[in-house]
Amino acid sequence: MEGKRLQAWSSAVWALADRQHGIVTRGQLLGLGLSSKAIEHRLQRGRLHPLWRGVYAVGRPEVGQLGRWMAAVLSCGPEALLGCRSAAQLWGLLDRPPPAIEIVAPTHVLRSRPGIRVRRQTHLSPEDRDECRGIPVTSPTATLIDLAAQAGRERTEAAVNAADRLGLIDPEELCAVLATISPRPGMRVLREILGRHTFTRTDSALERQFLRLVRKAGLPMPQTQAPVNGFRVDFHWPQFGLVVETDGLRYHRTPAQQARDLRREQVHAAAGLATLRFSAAQVRDEPARVRATLAAVIARLQEELNLEASSPL
């Protein structure tokens, strides 16, 4: 009888650990019927491995990133959520982890853990709570707000683009949601990024850098990642008949890719479009030259359009 009970306990523990990326808590083990003595026995025998106080890895001490995130959340109590930059990484919005795992918890949670940074918030609502890969985490909207308060405009704009691309948010819907939320740190920056004249969908840091050059030159903002003549182009000014590509791989493209680029530019030329191509090195190291070239081409195209408009029929 005792053997059957131990087998049932073991099966229940492994099933729970499987759902939680190899992690269980002391409270969960007690809830499954294990005594404090049984837990201590399993710790001594190497069946449980402490990560933080009251949180254990099951079977072996090594856990992956998902396991560490889950352990950090569980160690900070049932109301805690993976938050800020750690949440952004879990959602796929950032690729660089913060130095410590970042947790968001209500103000009454006073726990402190080595390697975990707890941000206590008074405004956590049910809408701020979500789950990703089984881990309690701040929602994409709450994550972006917190990120805007900490990570700076450039990284936040990149995260907004990633969230849009992954289907986690729609920028216009996010603007509407922000209008209904009580003010909190990060919202002003996020609203500015999402503003009609400042936010543009981009696929890379190079494209965002190019857009900053456009803004600094005082030029009209282009459409980004727009379909033109059957191709997706980086930037399109339909009012000027201009396409611009920012090519981070210009000097490392395969013959097939180079042939596709030629066909693309030939199709645009046949349709009466002007095409400019800037390399990553030019955008990064020669911004003044890029701005001057772009401004000169747009001025010329605008002059040609004005001449056509003023010519008699």
Say what the pLDDT of residue 251 is: 41
The residues that bridge with 237 in the sheet, in sequence order, are 242
The CATH number that applies at residue 247 is 3.40.960.10
Question: In total, how many domains does the chain have?
Answer: 3
For residue 237, the enclosing domain spans: 205-310
Say what the pLDDT of residue 25 is: 95
Residue 2 lies in a domain: no
Say what the pLDDT of residue 249 is: 46
- What is the rounded (10 degree) CA torsion for 251, 254, 258, 259? 170
Low-confidence ranges of the chain (pLDDT < 50): 1-2, 249-252
Looking at the whole model, is its pTM more than 0.95? no
Residues 57 and 91 reside in one and the same domain: no
Residues 185 and 119 reside in one and the same domain: yes
Say what the pLDDT of residue 108 is: 80
Q: Of 168, 199, 230, which residue is a domain's last?
A: 199
Q: What pLDDT, in 10s, does the model give residues 162-194?
A: 888 888 888 878 888 888 888 888 999 998 888
Q: Of 25, 46, 62, which residue is a domain's last?
A: 62
How far apart (Å, rounded) are the C-alpha atoms in residues 236 and 239?
9
CA angle 125, 129, 131 (to 5 degrees): 170
Residues 189 and 91 reside in one and the same domain: yes
For residue 87, what are the CA distances in angstroms to 55, 102, 108, 203, 244?
A: 20, 8, 21, 21, 35
